[in-house]
C-alpha cells in the first residue's frame, strides 16, 4: 500500500486513449487544490528506467522475445518504484503514473500469452507487489483510438506498431482485470472532450481526495 498521506494513481488503456493528456490535467487540478503531485510514466521515470525504455521501444536486432520484454519492463519498474514512487508516497505526495504493472499484465501477460501469474511473480519480486490506490482505465472503441493515432501522426514504436489483433487482446485483458477488481479500477469512457473526460475521472477518485 501507499504511504500515510500520499496517493498513487495509474492511468491505463490502449494506444491513443489519452492517458498522457489526462494525467497532466489531473496533476494540474490536484496542484490547484494545494497538493504536491509527481507525474511520471512507464517504462521510465528514472534515469535507469528511461535507459531501459529506449531498449524496449527501439529494440536492437529482431526485437525482444516476450520473456525478455517482460523482464525488461519489470527491471525498469523496480528502479522506478525504488527511486521515485515509494519515496514520493513516503513524503505524502500524490504520484500519477502513465501506465504501471497492469500494462505488463495486459500486453505481455495477456496479448503476449505469458500469463498473469508470471507477470505478478516478477512484480512481487521486483517491486514488492506495489498497487496503485486507483487505476484509471480509459476505454474507447478500436475505431476511435485508431483515428486518434492517425491524427496524432506519431511514428509507431515497437509496441504501438503491432497488429490490430494484438491491441484487441490488450483491450480484452484490461477489461477482464477491471471486471475482476471493480474497487481497484475506475473504467472511464475516453470519448469526449478532454474536459469531459477529466470530469469523469475526478468523480471516480472523489473518495481519495482530502
Whether pLDDT at 1 is above 50 = no
Whether pLDDT at 144 is above 60 = no
Percent of residues, the chain, with pLDDT higher than 90: 76
Q: Which CB contacts under 8 angstroms, 24+ apart, belong to 78-81?
A: 78/126, 78/127, 79/46, 79/48, 79/49, 79/52, 80/40, 80/42, 80/43, 80/44, 80/45, 80/46, 80/49, 81/126, 81/127, 81/128, 81/130
Ordered DSSP codes for 82-151: IIIIHHHHHTT-EEEEES-HHHHIIIIIIITSS-HHHHHHHHHHHHTT---SEEEEEE--HHHHHHHHHH
Q: Give how many domains the chain has, as a whole number.
A: 1
Q: What are 180's three cell numbers?
A: 475482476
For residue 12, how many C-alpha atoms fall within 13 Å in the half-sphere facing its CB? 27
Q: Are the beta carbons of 22 and 197 closer than 8 angstroms?
A: yes
Tell me: the pLDDT tens digits for 101-112?
Answer: 999 999 999 998
In a domain, 91, yes or no: yes
In a domain, 26, yes or no: yes
In a domain, 1, yes or no: no
In a domain, 2, yes or no: no
Q: What predicted TM-score, i.e. pTM, was given to this entire model?
A: 0.90
Tell me: the pLDDT tens digits for 50-75?
Answer: 999 999 988 999 999 999 999 999 99
Domain span including residue 29: 7-208
Residue 115 is part of a domain; what is its CATH number?
A: 3.40.50.300
- Arithmetic mean of pLDDT, 145-150: 51
Amino acid at each position: 500500500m501507499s504511504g500515510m498521506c500520499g496517493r498513487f494513481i495509474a492511468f491505463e488503456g490502449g494506444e491513443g486513449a489519452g492517458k498522457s493528456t489526462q494525467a497532466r490535467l489531473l496533476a494540474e487540478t490536484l496542484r490547484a487544490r494545494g497538493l504536491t503531485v509527481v507525474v511520471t510514466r512507464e517504462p521510465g521515470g528514472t534515469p535507469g528506467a528511461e535507459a531501459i525504455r529506449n531498449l524496449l521501444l527501439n529494440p536492437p536486432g529482431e526485437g525482444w522475445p516476450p520473456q525478455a520484454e517482460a523482464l525488461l519492463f519489470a527491471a525498469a519498474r523496480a528502479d522506478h518504484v525504488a527511486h521515485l514512487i515509494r519515496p514520493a508516497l513516503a513524503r505524502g505526495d500524490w504520484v500519477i503514473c502513465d501506465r504501471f504493472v497492469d500494462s505488463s499484465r495486459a500486453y505481455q501477460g495477456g496479448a503476449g500469452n505469458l500469463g498473469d501469474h508470471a507477470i505478478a511473480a516478477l512484480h512481487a519480486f521486483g517491486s514488492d507487489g506495489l498497487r496503485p490506490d486507483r487505476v484509471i482505465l480509459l476505454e474507447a472503441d478500436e475505431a476511435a483510438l485508431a483515428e486518434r493515432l492517425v491524427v496524432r501522426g506519431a511514428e509507431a514504436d515497437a509496441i504501438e506498431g503491432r497488429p490490430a489483433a494484438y491491441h484487441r487482446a490488450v483491450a480484452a485483458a484490461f477489461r477482464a482485470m477491471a471486471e475482476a477488481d471493480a474497487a481497484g479500477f475506475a473504467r472511464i469512457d475516453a470519448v469526449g472532450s478532454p474536459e469531459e473526460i477529466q470530469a469523469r475521472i475526478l468523480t471516480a477518485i472523489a473518495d481519495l481526495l482530502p
